[in-house]
Structure 1
């Protein structure tokens, strides 16, 4: 526990974070996240955050040393995609029972589970995650992993991020520390080149990175490691030989980027692949960093030619949506890098932003939003469901982009909604991804179902009562004859 405490303190003292540098010593000890309230929904614990970062490493076995519920609550919680191995989708847990805890059988059961995974699947590595229960009872995870690694000639990586130590964001950073301590730099590649880069904080949700990688391939830039999206253990182990790095989500792995720069002199910058302008700028900065590290300057010209070509194609495709979406109002209830990158992307095509959430955004993210929107009146830290519903039901926005947690608020307000968080089904990165995002917004807003659901329900509509007109003599005689015949038929039926 003492080593874990030191690791957490090191993460809290992150010098690459401008906000952290501005704090005094007392405030820095509290970290960046709000204290967790026992029993309250905190948006994920540290174990959940570590699993989010490491699980997309697709050829590794992820073993949860805990009772069954810990793995059940965290497995497959993001829509990351793999181009090959599927081992990461297999759920492994030691399934500790009360008897195992009481009798002190946790470490023995963990060692046995590692052996069984090795024999049945033969993965290149096994990642072991302790949780609250096993951390509190004092199982020595590091000792078991070290002994198993020696016994089975297999990297066994302890990921020390039990849930009680903090928030999901802290777990993200502790996962980066595990990679630094046990994985990165453990293998020397024999094909290192001047155009190798790392992409950090990219999760390949719905295969998004596959829309960006072909652009880098055309420039002759090789992605040495994408951490963690569609990653392989060997690629991450060799990541220290990259020449430059791009940070996609700084709140998750900024400590990883900074320490790789310190240890192996890999410069990095923070960028985004959301939107046409941001994608182009990211490609430019990657090329510029590579040139500074010794690459041929001719790559700068090739990059500009590629950008010019791809932007022309993208804008031509987007032109068809301009008249249909210009002036439409969008509310973003998301956070992190999307709080500013998606805002910029949508404003490029004439869409109005009525609000964007900055709940999980850094100070740098908020400054970018202010520069893009020219003020901070459209930024909100947190909006209660009641307020969100009122805003949508009053038609202050034509569509809401958010995660699955708030979709039902939009649907109850009879407002179009589009999933833009980790559960989304469509990739939105790169030039083609921007076109797809606009297409999905257009489909959602102009779906004819919204006109139907906004109409009053049939049982709320009172039928019009028509005033009865006076009958003529012939109509009166006909009615009387009908009543007489009806009475005769009734009498006959009664006798029968």
Structure 2
């Protein structure tokens, strides 16, 4: 198996990515991320990126051609949710041993694994992932998948994204190329309509896309394919018959959207469902684009009526939190679309943004942040843990929103923290998702545990004298007790 260098070069040279086109020719060849160093690829290699981008396709069997550890370390790496098949949550691996590798049994074992999956589960398709080991020993998974497709009568798709070829972001892009080359356009739907759209880059984390889809259903808009969140293989195979495409995570799969436009004349735009204003803008853009592609013009009026109704409900719910959260200082340590959409959303209810990171953000994302914040010192690429701890421990922030990697820095600084990355347990998309996000911020800030952990230790409050322990009740102690009562009251109100 070999990954053609021409294919890699096409992925790196992405015309739809303004950040990429802003580089010189030599820099463009290096791709979108820093090169990997030996031993530093765990959790961020190309195989991991491809698995992340494809595993939420729920009815497909995802077979990892590798020793056991590759599947064990990548299984269930995102909190995506499914409304149907749970096959995607079953781990499949060829579990190559040293003897298999030495004796050249990899391809034979792969073919046998495909046959066993076909007989036991009868999936509509099987995705086979190359990994570092199987790529280095030269197993030709393309040939095996082609033979299995002919033998068993179902699509067996090779995903050539071994970990050593590059970063997780590159793996996302290679996964999109695999869908274009082997899946999209391989089936024809019998119910094509003028209100069909694709959503690309939506992973349905914690089921949050289910907060958006009912809005589209009420407008008569059908999601032909949501890639990859809660997707079915046949939906993706028919994605070429949608009228427009909305790209949610541009850095990962914008190449897929661009090539859908190039091959099947499906225009695309970038948008976000995080925040009230962003959700409304996305709905308006979807309606406008569908009308331009042949939908009835009354769709625009119905969209505006829906937006007015949903915004009024959402603002009424948020009014209860404004008094407790207005003026609270938030640090957003994430990236991508959340780096600007959450900024805009939280500022709408009076929350002060101390800073936001722009790692994994596109040029357009950064321009939006600049327009919103207008202060360059509030925008940073990344914060080293010591810098982050200093900011949090000096009481410059009331809460940090980030992923799990930095939660312990916040906990060490005794600062409230809320997970907004893929490991989260609450959906934050759409109007209802925005209300839930604000509710969780309110609960985190006013949780009485912070009043307790910030109090002096008992041995500091009650110094020991030569005559024994002495009780010291000061105004500051009384103040802390009052603060604890206030926290408990606010926390109870937030839960209600």
TM class, shorter-chain normalised?
over 0.9
The answer to whether 1:228 aligns with 2:231 is no
Hey, what's the Cα distance between the residues in 1 that align with 2:251 and 2:208?
Answer: 19
| 2:485 counterpart residue number | none
| 2:317 counterpart residue number | 317
Asked whether the equivalents of residues 369 and 376 of structure 1 are also in contact (C-alpha less than 8 Å), the reply is no
Hey, what's the Cα distance between the residues in 2 that align with 1:405 and 1:246?
Answer: 29
**C-alpha displacement at 1:408, in angstroms?**
0.8
| 1:201 counterpart residue number | 201
Hey, what's the Cα distance between the residues in 1 that align with 2:246 and 2:394?
Answer: 41
| 2:370 counterpart residue number | 370
| 2:192 counterpart residue number | 192
Hey, what's the Cα distance between the residues in 2 that align with 1:5 and 1:208?
Answer: 37
SS at match of 2:14: coil
Would the alpha carbon gap of residues 42 and 15 (structure 1) be closer, same or farther in structure 2, given more than 3 Å must change?
farther
Hey, what's the Cα distance between the residues in 1 that align with 2:376 and 2:368?
Answer: 10
Hey, what's the Cα distance between the residues in 1 that align with 2:198 and 2:89?
Answer: 24
**C-alpha displacement at 1:41, in angstroms?**
5.2
Asked whether the equivalents of residues 272 and 337 of structure 1 are also in contact (C-alpha less than 8 Å), the reply is yes
Asked whether the equivalents of residues 275 and 434 of structure 2 are also in contact (C-alpha less than 8 Å), the reply is yes
Asked whether the equivalents of residues 205 and 422 of structure 1 are also in contact (C-alpha less than 8 Å), the reply is yes
**C-alpha displacement at 1:29, in angstroms?**
0.8
**C-alpha displacement at 1:42, in angstroms?**
6.6
**C-alpha displacement at 1:403, in angstroms?**
0.7
Hey, what's the Cα distance between the residues in 1 that align with 2:22 and 2:416?
Answer: 41
The answer to whether 1:383 aligns with 2:383 is yes
Hey, what's the Cα distance between the residues in 2 that align with 1:312 and 1:14?
Answer: 40
Deviations 1:61-96 (A, max 9, x none): 000000000011100000000001000000000000
Asked whether the equivalents of residues 129 and 160 of structure 1 are also in contact (C-alpha less than 8 Å), the reply is yes
Hey, what's the Cα distance between the residues in 1 that align with 2:41 and 2:106?
Answer: 28
Hey, what's the Cα distance between the residues in 2 that align with 1:445 and 1:375?
Answer: 25
Deviations 1:124-172 (A, max 9, x none): 0000001000001110000000000000001000001000000000000
**C-alpha displacement at 1:5, in angstroms?**
1.9
Hey, what's the Cα distance between the residues in 1 that align with 2:157 and 2:227?
Answer: 16
Hey, what's the Cα distance between the residues in 1 that align with 2:354 and 2:152?
Answer: 57
SS at match of 2:59: coil
The answer to whether 1:159 aligns with 2:159 is yes
**C-alpha displacement at 1:460, in angstroms?**
3.1
SS at match of 2:360: coil
SS at match of 1:377: helix
Hey, what's the Cα distance between the residues in 2 that align with 1:466 and 1:173?
Answer: 70
Stretches of structure 2 lacking an aligned partner (at least 5 in a row): 469-496
SS at match of 1:127: strand
SS at match of 1:198: strand
Asked whether the equivalents of residues 201 and 252 of structure 1 are also in contact (C-alpha less than 8 Å), the reply is yes
Deviations 1:380-436 (A, max 9, x none): 111111111111011100000011111111111100000000000000000000000
Deviations 1:31-85 (A, max 9, x none): 1111111122575100000000000000000000000000111000000000010
The answer to whether 1:23 aligns with 2:23 is yes
| 2:72 counterpart residue number | 72
Stretches of structure 1 lacking an aligned partner (at least 5 in a row): 469-496
Hey, what's the Cα distance between the residues in 2 that align with 1:8 and 1:466?
Answer: 75
Hey, what's the Cα distance between the residues in 1 that align with 2:427 and 2:444?
Answer: 16
Would the alpha carbon gap of residues 22 and 464 (structure 1) be closer, same or farther in structure 2, given more than 3 Å must change?
closer
**C-alpha displacement at 1:3, in angstroms?**
4.5
SS at match of 1:341: helix
SS at match of 1:418: strand
Hey, what's the Cα distance between the residues in 1 that align with 2:55 and 2:301?
Answer: 38
TM-score calculated relative to the size of structure 1: 0.93
Asked whether the equivalents of residues 41 and 163 of structure 2 are also in contact (C-alpha less than 8 Å), the reply is no
| 1:341 counterpart residue number | 341
Would the alpha carbon gap of residues 41 and 355 (structure 1) be closer, same or farther in structure 2, given more than 3 Å must change?
farther
Deviations 1:317-358 (A, max 9, x none): 000111100000000111111111111111111101101111
**C-alpha displacement at 1:461, in angstroms?**
3.2
Aligned length: 468
| 2:435 counterpart residue number | 435
Hey, what's the Cα distance between the residues in 2 that align with 1:346 and 1:207?
Answer: 21
**C-alpha displacement at 1:465, in angstroms?**
4.8
Structure number with larger C-alpha Rg: 1
| 1:479 counterpart residue number | none
**C-alpha displacement at 1:464, in angstroms?**
6.3
| 1:458 counterpart residue number | 458
**C-alpha displacement at 1:2, in angstroms?**
5.3
| 1:124 counterpart residue number | 124
Deviant stretches of 4+, over 4 Å: 464-468
Asked whether the equivalents of residues 42 and 167 of structure 1 are also in contact (C-alpha less than 8 Å), the reply is no
| 2:404 counterpart residue number | 404
Hey, what's the Cα distance between the residues in 2 that align with 1:3 and 1:77?
Answer: 25
Asked whether the equivalents of residues 198 and 223 of structure 2 are also in contact (C-alpha less than 8 Å), the reply is yes
SS at match of 1:201: strand
Hey, what's the Cα distance between the residues in 2 that align with 1:114 and 1:460?
Answer: 65
Hey, what's the Cα distance between the residues in 1 that align with 2:238 and 2:297?
Answer: 25
Deviates more, 1:376-385 or 1:326-335: 376-385
| 1:271 counterpart residue number | 271
Root mean square deviation of aligned Cα = 1.3
Asked whether the equivalents of residues 219 and 299 of structure 1 are also in contact (C-alpha less than 8 Å), the reply is yes
Asked whether the equivalents of residues 36 and 42 of structure 1 are also in contact (C-alpha less than 8 Å), the reply is no
Hey, what's the Cα distance between the residues in 2 that align with 1:220 and 1:452?
Answer: 51
Asked whether the equivalents of residues 204 and 230 of structure 1 are also in contact (C-alpha less than 8 Å), the reply is yes
Asked whether the equivalents of residues 2 and 135 of structure 2 are also in contact (C-alpha less than 8 Å), the reply is no
- 1:154-303 alignment, distance < 5 Å: 154-303=154-303
| 2:34 counterpart residue number | 34
